[in-house]
């Protein structure tokens, strides 16, 4: 041993080699630690024997924690078992292995690890260790995933996408682009978007397009383009600039969608909002707009405008008899017939079931008369539909702007009023609005408003007219007749207010009041000792259609303790026209309760035996229009006799209405009529007066 403590002699050479090895090892470790990639070395059994500083930084584990451990320490729930198995198989064979594997740091955060593992053998070829190099490629994979996602979105987007260079030439398009435009990708790459121009936009449009794109960085809006096959279509287009870090434009990106379906839907909505779906004519909303425009133009030019209101006469009979499909086809056919009568500036609109309105700019009364005559002629021409020959007639009302009215709403109302005047004049004609109609409209409005509070104010009352034996004049029954005494308007007849009550929905309340009051009075007379008299009460067509009518009558009969046999319900044959089957069922319910049915106004119009069978009436009332014409030698005498004979054959009781003279009474007796009512026997009177009449000594005609 020398003084330094090292072996002397030959040992000096050993120490020199030992020190050199130590220096090399330190140099080797320093070199490995300087590498930015993680390095680990394992023995042949894959136990870690060395990790460098980069590996420690990458994993978060210290070298002491890693030495002696397995690489499985870095694996976790997201690590691919398949990749691990492939790695082990390669290392077992002594082969190099390379892969990307999801590993986990000490704190549990995952990272993508790019592995390169190489086996190391000794001089004798025996496997001694493995050297692994790895690096974190998470950021690279995220970037690649984002690029892959962007590529998939680009290709799979339902919206067409296109990228253009600074010169505006296409550099990329997606599948939706080729589907919408019809161009294949290779046909548009390198081409300018002008390839798609429709020709519907002028140069100023494209100038403003590019100006906004450059100043704001984007443009968005509706544009029309052309497909490869030449068809023009609307699209919603968004174009934006792609800029680099310095803010310089690098590319343009466009996205668009074909909005043809949306435009069609918008058009359908517009048509539904402004056009009648059945006939295709303008509806009430569009009519109002066009009429307002026509009136404005007329004011500027000092012209007139005619507004015509056309309603088909008895159109409901077509629907009820042949069905609504036939009625609809009839309306379509008539709309087509009327169109040729009009000029381009005229408007024909359908505003209701069988109601049409025409607006004729620049048309005065003479011009309207000419058009009305043409409409009357063409509408009345027979039509062949579903094997039926149909003929309908129109009633037309005409109002002139500004002669009759200064605004559309008033003009419309006046034409409507004139149309109703045409119907009252016999239908199949036309009528011009007059000032007299305005006064009538004002009264109608006032009466309708007053009617709403008539019962509340106790203005309604029942008068009773006696029905007497034609042979000896004694009272056999009474008819309850509704009267209205308004505080300001005075007595208002039922012919005026009953139709208003029906149209305004008040008839149900009034009808219930009439039945209740009549039966209450009948009970009062019975309680006062009068002999039972049949009480006749009129029903309206609206009441006959009410589902609860029979229940209401039964309730009131029970409340007032009146035998159903002493209540007679008067109906007119026209009531059954709207719903013959429903009317028959309603009448059958009433008859089943024990009530008597009277067919009123017989002989005033068309009557068929089917109606007599439908009503199953026990009483036939001869209309006053026939009775008033009875005279010695008059032809009406035979008509009345025939009606009485018909009633007798059908076992029906006859009552003649409107008997005013002894001569009429005698002729009715000769014809075999059993009962009569009219001024000859007594006018309609308050209950107290009728009671006095019944109690009086005189049982014959009065006056």
| Cα within 13 Å of Cα(596), Cβ side | 21
State pLDDT tens for residues 284-339.
Answer: 999 999 999 999 999 999 999 999 999 999 898 888 888 889 999 999 999 999 99
pLDDT of residue 703: 45
Is the CATH number of domain 157-263 3.30.1360.120?
no
Query: Model-level pTM?
Result: 0.52
CB 174 within 8 A of CB 160: yes
Question: Residue 538 pLDDT > 60, yes or no?
Answer: yes
State pLDDT tens for residues 498-525.
Answer: 888 888 888 999 999 999 999 999 999 9
Q: Which residues make beta-bridge pairs with 101?
A: 113
Q: Give dist(CA 485, CA 450) in Å, integer.
A: 11
pLDDT of residue 388: 84
pLDDT of residue 166: 87
**Average of pLDDT values for 33-37?**
70
Q: Give dist(CA 410, CA 305) in Å, integer.
A: 13
Distances (CA, A) of 483 to 455, 456, 514, 630: 11, 15, 10, 28
Q: Give dist(CA 610, CA 172) in Å, integer.
A: 82
pLDDT of residue 23: 54
Residue 295's CB is within 10 A of a number of other CB atoms, namely 22
Across 452-566, where does the E strand assignment appear?
460-469, 475-486, 490-492, 534-538
Q: Give dist(CA 399, CA 304) in Å, integer.
A: 10
Question: Residue 134 pLDDT > 60, yes or no?
Answer: yes
State pLDDT tens for residues 85-121.
Answer: 998 998 888 888 998 889 999 999 999 988 898 888 8
Question: Residue 26 pLDDT > 60, yes or no?
Answer: no
Kindly report the backbone phi and psi dihedral angles of residue 520, in degrees, each rounded to the nearest multiple of 5, phi listed first: -65, -40
Q: Give dist(CA 510, CA 255) in Å, integer.
A: 68
pLDDT of residue 322: 86
Structure tokens at 201: 């936009």
CATH H-level, domain 35-142: superfamily: PAS domain (3.30.450.20)
Q: Give dist(CA 314, CA 321) in Å, integer.
A: 11
Question: Could you tell me whether strands 596-602 and 619-622 are parallel, antiparallel, or unpaired per DSSP bridges?
Answer: parallel
Question: Residue 1 pLDDT > 70, yes or no?
Answer: no
The answer to whether 35-142 and 157-263 have equal CATH topology is: yes
Provide the 8-state DSSP code for 75: -
What single string gives the DSSP state of each residue in 300-311? Answer: HHT--EEEEEEE
State pLDDT tens for residues 229-258.
Answer: 999 999 999 898 888 888 888 889 888 888
Provide the 8-state DSSP code for 73: G
**Average of pLDDT values for 626-649?**
90
CB 476 within 8 A of CB 534: yes
Topology, domain 453-694: TIM Barrel (3.20.20)
Residue 289: partners with Cβ closer than 8 Å, 6 or more residues away: 274
Structure tokens at 699: 């049982």
Question: Residue 685 pLDDT > 90, yes or no?
Answer: yes
Structure tokens at 10: 């030959």
Is the CATH number of domain 280-433 3.30.70.270?
yes
pLDDT of residue 268: 82
pLDDT classification of 25: cutoffs 50, 70, 90: very low
Question: Can you give the residue ranges of every domain in the chain?
Answer: 35-142, 157-263, 280-433, 453-694
Question: How big is the CA angle at 79 (ends 77 and 83), to the nearest 5 degrees?
Answer: 145
pLDDT of residue 249: 86
Question: Residue 480 pLDDT > 80, yes or no?
Answer: yes
| Cα within 13 Å of Cα(578), Cβ side | 8
CB 38 within 8 A of CB 15: no
pLDDT of residue 248: 86
State pLDDT tens for residues 600-617.
Answer: 878 665 555 556 667 788
Q: Give dist(CA 664, CA 168) in Å, integer.
A: 104
339: left (phi over 0), alpha (psi -120 to 50) or beta: alpha
Structure tokens at 328: 């609809």
Please report where in the chains the tokens 């425009």 appear, as a residue.
293
Q: Give dist(CA 97, CA 141) in Å, integer.
A: 20
Structure tokens at 673: 């009529």
Question: Residue 22 pLDDT > 50, yes or no?
Answer: no
Question: Residue 21 pLDDT > 70, yes or no?
Answer: no
**Average of pLDDT values for 22-51?**
72
pLDDT of residue 699: 42
Helix (H) or strand (E) holding 100: strand 97-104
**Average of pLDDT values for 162-181?**
89
Kindly report the backbone phi and psi dihedral angles of residue 92, in degrees, each rounded to the nearest multiple of 5, phi listed first: -60, -35
Buried/exposed 455-484: b ≥16 CB within 10 Å, e otherwise: eeeebbebbbbbbbbbeebebbbbbbbbbb
Strand order in the sheet with 394-401: 347-350, 355-361, 305-312, 394-401, 430-432
pLDDT of residue 150: 64
Provide the 8-state DSSP code for 197: B
Name the percent of the chain lying above pLDDT 70.
91
pLDDT of residue 6: 46
Structure tokens at 609: 């035996």
Provide the 8-state DSSP code for 259: -
Question: How big is the CA angle at 377 (ends 376 and 380), to the nearest 5 degrees?
Answer: 80
pLDDT of residue 144: 80
Q: Which residues make beta-bridge pairs with 41?
A: 50, 131
**Better-predicted residue by pLDDT, 350 or 424:** 350
CB 224 within 8 A of CB 233: yes
**Average of pLDDT values for 650-674?**
94
Mean pLDDT of the chain: 87
Kindly report the backbone phi and psi dihedral angles of residue 40, in degrees, each rounded to the nearest multiple of 5, phi listed first: -135, 150
């Amino acid at each position: 041993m020398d003084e330094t403590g090292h072996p002397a002699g030959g040992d000096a050479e050993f120490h020199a080699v030992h020190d050199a090895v130590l220096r090399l090892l330190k140099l080797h470790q320093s070199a490995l630690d300087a590498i930015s990639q993680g390095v680990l070395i394992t023995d042949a059994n894959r136990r870690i024997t060395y990790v460098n500083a980069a590996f420690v930084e990458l994993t978060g584990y210290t070298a002491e924690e890693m030495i002696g451990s397995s690489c499985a320490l870095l694996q976790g729930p997201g690590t691919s078992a398949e990749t691990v198995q492939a790695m082990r198989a390669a290392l077992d064979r002594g082969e190099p292995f390379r892969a990307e594997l999801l590993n986990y740091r000490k704190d549990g955060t995952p990272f993508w690890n790019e592995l390169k593992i190489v086996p190391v053998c000794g001089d004798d070829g025996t496997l001694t260790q493995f050297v692994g190099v790895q690096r974190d490629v998470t950021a690279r994979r995220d970037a690649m995933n984002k690029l892959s996602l962007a590529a998939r979105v680009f290709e799979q987007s339902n919206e067409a996408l296109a990228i253009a260079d600074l010169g505006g030439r296409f550099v990329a398009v997606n599948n939706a682009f080729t589907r919408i435009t019809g161009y294949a990708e290779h046909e548009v790459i390198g081409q300018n978007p002008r390839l798609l121009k429709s020709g519907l936009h002028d140069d100023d449009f494209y100038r403003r397009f590019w100006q906004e794109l450059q100043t704001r960085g984007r443009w968005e809006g509706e544009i029309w383009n052309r497909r490869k096959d030449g068809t023009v279509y609307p699209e919603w287009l968004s174009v934006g600039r792609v800029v680099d870090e310095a803010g310089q434009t690098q590319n343009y990106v466009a996205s668009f969608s074909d909005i043809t379906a949306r435009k069609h839907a918008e058009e359908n909505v517009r048509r539904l909002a402004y056009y009648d779906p059945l006939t295709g004519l303008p509806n009430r909303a569009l009519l109002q707009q066009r009429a307002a425009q026509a009136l404005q133009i007329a004011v500027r030019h000092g012209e007139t405008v005619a507004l015509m209101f056309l309603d088909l006469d008895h159109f409901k009979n077509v629907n009820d008899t042949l069905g609504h499909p036939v009625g609809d086809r009839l309306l379509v056919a008539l709309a087509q017939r009327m169109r040729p009568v009009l000029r381009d500036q005229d408007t024909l609109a359908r505003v209701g079931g069988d109601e049409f309105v025409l607006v004729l700019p620049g048309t005065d009364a003479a011009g309207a008369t000419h058009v009305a005559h043409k409409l009357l002629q063409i509408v009345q021409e027979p039509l062949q539909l579903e094997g039926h020959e149909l003929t309908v007639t129109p009633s037309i009302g005409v109002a002139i702007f500004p002669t009759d009215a200064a605004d559309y709403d008033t003009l419309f109302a006046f034409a409507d009023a004139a149309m109703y005047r045409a119907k009252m004049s016999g239908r199949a004609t036309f009528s011009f609005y007059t000032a007299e109609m305005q006064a009538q409209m004002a009264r109608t409005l006032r009466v309708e408003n007053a009617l709403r509070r008539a019962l509340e104010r106790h203005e309604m009352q029942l008068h009773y007219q006696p029905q007497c034996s034609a042979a000896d004049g004694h009272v056999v029954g009474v008819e309850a007749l509704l009267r209205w005494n308004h505080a300001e308007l005075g007595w208002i007849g039922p012919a005026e207010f009953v139709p208003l009550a029906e149209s305004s929905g008040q008839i149900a309340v009034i009808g219930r009041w009439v039945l209740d009051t009549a039966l209450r009075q009948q009970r009062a007379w019975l309680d006062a000792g009068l002999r039972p008299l049949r009480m006749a009460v009129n029903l309206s067509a609206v009441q006959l259609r009410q589902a609860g009518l029979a229940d209401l009558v039964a309730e009131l009969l029970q409340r007032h303790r009146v035998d159903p046999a002493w209540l007679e319900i008067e109906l007119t044959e026209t009531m059954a026209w709207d719903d013959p089957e429903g009317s028959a069922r309603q009448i059958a319910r009433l008859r089943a309760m024990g009530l008597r049915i009277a067919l009123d106004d017989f002989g005033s119009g068309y009557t068929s035996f089917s109606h007599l069978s439908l009503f199953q009436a026990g009483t036939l009332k001869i209309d006053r229009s026939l009775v008033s014409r009875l005279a010695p030698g008059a032809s009406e005498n035979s008509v009345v006799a025939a009606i009485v004979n018909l009633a007798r054959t059908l076992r029906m009781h006859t009552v003649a209405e409107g008997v005013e003279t002894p001569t009429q009474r005698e002729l009715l007796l000769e014809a075999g009529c059993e009962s009569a009512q009219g001024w000859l026997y007594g006018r309609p009177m308050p209950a107290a007066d009728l009671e006095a009449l019944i109690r009086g000594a005189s049982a014959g005609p009065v006056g």
